[in-house]
């Protein structure tokens, strides 16, 4: 009996998408749970804290994860092990230093009475969640760098299982609050990745740590600027809604975005596969092949989003109302905005993949700085006059501009090769 042999690249993309399905399931279930158990204001606070944790993981991606993905296969086997060990140890030292600094700042704020205890609790529990998510994110990127996405899926399934057990236990035996949920996220993430990372530490030599940090910095100094401004551009509307409107509005928008998160995460998952593959193809003088793959996946994803939106709009309103609650009954009005954002976001992602493979980090940083400044100004202006709709329209206008700029440069760069 004969079987159809699936190409390794397609197989890896399949695992990357499966990984994002697991992450989407985790986010979706947790968000629905919170919608049903906490107030809309608390859900708004949660969706204000989570983007901040994502900003911190974006910084980690710039300094450690992205250089790892573009450098891993250029090293011999022994150097790879030493390199990975160095990145883990350096992050441990940084986290310890930040923990000490945050403890001092929180104590001073409390003594001086400058903030309420509720916000201090959010800071501390948000830090716990962030530490766990940082350990998990690094391990995930390491697996993707090794082109072992199946291990990433296994790790995320463990994380999902642990989180479900802990959250259910809190619901049955303790109480549910945003602070407790953040702690449980951190613990679940750390338990699913910390032991494996510890086993990868093979040295603690200052000279080697310094060498690998300097090596990373030649890429990360530009990536860092890019990811920070990209994050601000992506989540700027959330921060501005929080400033100009209120936490309940953030909760309402987050409920609508919840339905589009699975597709948005697929684009993130694809990048984890595309960048290591693109790096290898460029070394083999097959950059145009990678270019065609990026175009194909962008068109396929756009069709998928269109089909998904059509399905969502044909689901009976009563079902969506049951999934959410009466407080969120206007959230479905914002679905189309996030569908458009998902399509533009994928084109930005695929174009950026190409420029990162060609190591055009400085150029990407300049593009991101320009679009971020325009994004913040436009979002603030449109939100002031048209509220939530203004913020979401601004998000899509800037996404369209960014996609055009990135792809124009990508096409031009490929032609010159």
Q: Which residue has the tokens 């084109």?
A: 347
Cα–Cα–Cα angle for 84, 85, 87, rounded to 5 degrees? 65
Q: In terms of C-beta density within 10 A (0-12 exposed, 13-18 middle, 19 or more buried), how is residue 229 classed?
A: buried
Residue 99 corresponds to which tokens in the numbers above? 């923990």
H helix count then E strand count, the chain: 14, 0
Q: Alpha carbon of 385 to those of 171, 301, 391, 394: distances in Å?
A: 41, 33, 10, 12
Maximum Cα–Cα distance for the chain, whole Å? 76
- Reading the chain (417 residues) residue by residue, the pLDDT tens digits are 344 445 566 676 677 767 777 877 788 788 888 888 888 888 888 888 888 888 888 889 888 988 888 788 778 877 888 999 999 999 999 999 999 998 898 888 888 887 788 888 888 999 999 999 999 999 998 998 887 888 888 898 999 999 999 999 999 988 888 999 999 999 999 999 999 999 999 988 899 999 988 888 877 777 777 777 777 777 777 777 777 766 777 777 777 777 777 676 677 777 777 887 888 788 788 888 889 989 999 999 889 888 888 888 787 767 766 666 666 666 777 888 888 888 998 899 899 989 988 888 888 888 888 888 888 889 889 888 888 888 889 889 988 999 999 999 999 988 886
Distance, in Å, from the CA atom of 219 to the CA atom of 207, rounded to the nearest integer, reads 20
Residue 270 corresponds to which tokens in the numbers above? 């694809």
């Amino acid at each position: 009996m004969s079987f159809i042999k699936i190409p390794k690249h397609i197989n890896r993309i399949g695992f990357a998408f499966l990984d994002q399905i697991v992450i989407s399931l985790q986010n979706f279930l947790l968000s629905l749970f919170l919608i049903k158990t906490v107030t809309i204001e608390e859900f708004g606070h949660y969706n204000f804290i989570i983007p901040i944790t994502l900003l911190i993981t974006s910084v980690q991606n710039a300094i450690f994860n992205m250089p790892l993905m573009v450098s891993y296969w250029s090293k011999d086997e022994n150097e790879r092990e030493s390199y990975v060990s160095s990145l883990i140890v350096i992050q441990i030292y940084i986290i310890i230093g930040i923990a000490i600094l945050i403890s001092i700042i929180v104590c001073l704020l409390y003594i001086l009475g400058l903030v309420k205890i509720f916000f201090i609790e959010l800071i501390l529990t948000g830090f716990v969640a962030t530490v766990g998510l940082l350990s998990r994110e690094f391990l995930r990127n390491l697996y993707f760098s090794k082109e072992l996405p199946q291990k990433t899926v296994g790790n995320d399934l463990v994380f999902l299982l642990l989180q479900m057990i802990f959250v259910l236990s809190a619901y049955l035996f303790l109480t549910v609050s945003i602070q407790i949920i953040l702690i449980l996220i951190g613990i679940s993430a750390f338990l699913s990745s910390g032991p494996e990372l510890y086993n990868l530490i093979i040295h603690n030599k200052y000279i080697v740590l310094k060498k690998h940090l300097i090596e990373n910095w030649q890429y990360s100094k530009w990536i860092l600027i890019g990811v920070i401004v990209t994050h601000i551009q992506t989540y700027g509307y959330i921060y501005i809604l929080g400033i100009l409107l209120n936490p309940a509005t953030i909760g309402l928008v987050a409920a609508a975005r919840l339905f589009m998160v699975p597709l948005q995460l697929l684009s993130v998952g694809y990048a984890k596969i595309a960048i290591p593959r693109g790096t290898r193809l460029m070394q083999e003088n097959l950059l145009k092949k990678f270019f065609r793959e990026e175009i194909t996946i962008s068109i396929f994803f756009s069709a998928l989003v269109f089909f998904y939106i059509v399905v969502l709009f044909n689901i009976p309103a009563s079902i969506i109302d049951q999934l959410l609650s009466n407080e969120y009954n206007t959230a479905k009005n914002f679905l189309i905005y996030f569908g458009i954002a998902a399509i533009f976001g994928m084109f930005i992602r695929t174009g950026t993949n190409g420029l990162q493979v060609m190591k055009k980090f400085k150029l990407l940083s300049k593009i991101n700085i320009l679009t971020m400044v325009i994004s913040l100004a436009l979002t603030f202006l449109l939100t002031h006059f048209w509220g939530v709709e203004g913020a979401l329209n601004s998000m899509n206008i800037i996404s369209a501009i960014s996609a055009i700029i990135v792809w124009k440069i990508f096409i031009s760069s490929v032609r010159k090769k």
